[in-house]
Structure 1
Amino acid sequence: GAICISKSVADEVGDWIKKYGKQKLRPFNITWFHLGADVENSVPSQGVPDDADEVLKEIQERPSFLMVGTIEPRKGHAQTLAAFEQLWADGVDTNLVIVGKQGWMVEELIERLRQHPELGKRLFWLEGISDEYLEKIYAASTCLVAASEGEGFGLPLIEAAQHELPIIARDITVFREVAGEHAFYFSGVEPHSLENKIIEWLSLYKTGSHPRSETMTWLTWKESTNQLLSTLFKQEKSV
């Protein structure tokens, strides 16, 4: 059997097995649970860089849109950067803040980031920062952008909700599962599709009519563990 970290992933695994799996004498049981998200009950890393106060001040100067996660092709960084380049060209004064290490197959994008004329002005890339610094970045930002084209869960959405930070998320099943009505969704892979949604969101934000994340539900690690154990016991009984 398999235990997945979201119902969306469990459904995807089930669909794959139906399509490609071999016939078995006993059914392949698939179930799921949700991850915990209480950083204070884990062991958060500490430390902030010398320029932290300056960066945080810049982030608070204008609406700042935050991305959190390793830079990989599926995460949507290239589309998001291109969307913000169009916003800047159109005179929309916003920040794009990217938190995450370089991943695989993104060398061209990394070069764009390192050489970008807005780097350190309205574009910020923070690599390998501590949990302590990330907490401050969340608190200083205006909105989380979750642009990934595929995820197992989507922990940054919950971290955003813990900071009462609004969310703009790609319209994929797992983000709907995690955030429900508490996020503003976009679809499409072209820069203009995200750019238009950001402009629309900014208009809603100015009037306080954007979707709110603060009432989003999430589990502590203790609750997540109990859910996992309950799932395991149910699996054992079904065998």
Structure 2
Amino acid sequence: MSSSPVIIVTGASRGIGASIVEQLMAAPEQPRVVGVSRSSAGLEALEKKYPERFTYVTGDVAKDSTSDAIISRALEKFGRIDGVICNAGVLEPIAPVAKASLEDWKKLYDINFFAPVSLSSKAIPELRKTHGRIVFVSSDASTIFFNGWAAYGSSKAAINHYAGSIAAEEKDIFAIAIAPGIVDTNMQNNIRDNFGEGMSSDEHKFFHELHNTGKLLPPQIPAAVVANLSLRGSGDINGKYLSYDAETLASYQLQK
């Protein structure tokens, strides 16, 4: 069986996740990829494009059984796990803390925090064997405070701490949390079109202006950093939370 690395990518059907898969497919290491998403259309297209190197699991990452299915699929199809990229996430609910719905917060945490905990913890026994890597897609919102974003931002802050905890506990595993910047994806469409009511008018205007002035990042820019870290992340950045454009990540960034 091939010794090329095997990387799991959640939220792989579109946006940053799909771009991460494309960056992995272009990497010289020739990695094999297990993609995960709730919808199958984008995953099917990737499998058709890369039939020998891509396989997928369709499922809700918030369910513990989906994590089991992902691990099983990786081992049955490719025989090993070298990296896990926890990219799937949601932004809702957007609402002031004074109007917090505990049920909505729990749904967000199930996807943004507990799903990565489930998948990464189940992958650790295999990652120990390969001295593997875990990359968590975090957010600038983990340290910057937008009105109405307390659920999302706090879940990403929890992910940052969790990445550091893995790095501290597992000496043979590299873990890192990466803020991808403000990326031109469907999440930005939702911020502009659907979430204004829960935000301040100035902050909502800010996101509109980023779009109108062409300042949103193309997905491949942060995707390259995440993909490269999953393949060869090492050194004193282990356990850190960093922005995709940090100077210490220069060797992982998309080369011009």
TM-score (norm 1): 0.46
Structure possessing the higher relative contact order (Cα contacts under 8 Å, 6 or more residues apart): 1
